[in-house]
Amino acid sequence: MFETRPLNGAFGVEITGGLDVLTPLTPAQIAEIDRLMDENALVLIRNQPMDVDQQLTWTRQFGPLDQGFKKVIAKGSTPQKYDEVGDISNLSKDGQVAARTDKRILNNIANQLWHSDSSFQKPAAKYSMLHSVRNPSWGGETEYTDLRAAYDALPDRMKDFLDGKIAEHFALHSRFLLGDDSYSTEQIAAIPPAHWPVVRENPATGRKHLFIGVHARSIEGMTVPEGRMILMDLLEHATQPQFIYRHEWEVGDTLIWDNRQTLHRGRHYDLDEPRELRRTTTLDDRAPELEMAS
């Protein structure tokens, strides 16, 4: 239905023809993109600019929207007028480059840690869609790692060890790691920790994958030091070069990724140069783990 080609990296696919993001998708087209996501975990669409309302309309075709970390930060603290839009920029509300001491700059620096969007909640995120509006002259790429291939490459003994293990994911764990503990009791309580299997399975394909990242801070039934070391070792394993796709942004790019099967991180750039990307995210409200817990 769509023309595609592999991305120049470890995994992922680019849709090169047959898709207009401003035209409503048919059920068959949505099913085709879901299939591409299940098989490839990354789908790139180039040179199709969208404004914020068009991006929200596009994203809603794939499920209910997630607010993620907006539940912790103050509403109206970013230039975006919708809580369902993640502002991945260094711009203040007046459109100028924000000061390095701005709370939002620290939040975006935290995005440079390997993570899965909203793994700290139930339901967690399914698809994230990051759209490029303006890019700095250097840096600011986004890297993705394939948690399916990382699981496949584990020794059998480690696979057996991880079977049935449950990790606790906490929204502010990454912020605390960066030295930012300036959160109120109400903010800390806004998103209680979520618990997820360390190894999950894609219900559409049956393929197993790791589910880890910087939000994971402990493993049930293990001491904090031992569990945290296991999580750190798994993260180091999963982010080896052979598992990674690195995206260099062009204006009008939209990159869709499956948060269940991948981790991602932003890369460093000159914070004195403007950078503007918008992220919209759908909820994985039909995850098998939610049905088992109900």
Question: Distance (Å, rounded) from C-alpha 144 to C-alpha 133?
Answer: 20
Read off the pTM.
0.94
pLDDT in tens, 198-221: 999 999 999 999 999 999 999 999
**Residue 244's closest CA among 144, 165, 171?**
144
pLDDT at 143: 98
Domain CATH number, residue 95 = 3.60.130.10
For residue 231, what are the domain limits?
3-293
DSSP letter string over 108-143? HHHTTS-B-TTTTSSS-EEEEEEEEEE--SSB--EE
Number of domains comprising the chain = 1
Question: Which 8-state DSSP code applies to residue 257?
Answer: E
Tell whether omega for the bond before 241 is within 30 degrees of 0, i.e. cis: no
Per-10-residue mean pLDDT for the chain, 294 residues long?
96 98 98 98 98 98 88 56 89 88 83 96 97 97 98 98 98 88 85 96 97 98 98 98 98 98 97 96 96 64
Integer Cα distance of 85 and 81 in angstroms = 8
pLDDT tens column, 138-188: 999 999 999 999 999 999 999 999 999 999 999 999 888 888 888 888 888
The pLDDT value given to residue 74: 52
Contacts of 79 (CB under 8 A, 6+ apart): 87, 89, 91, 92, 93, 95
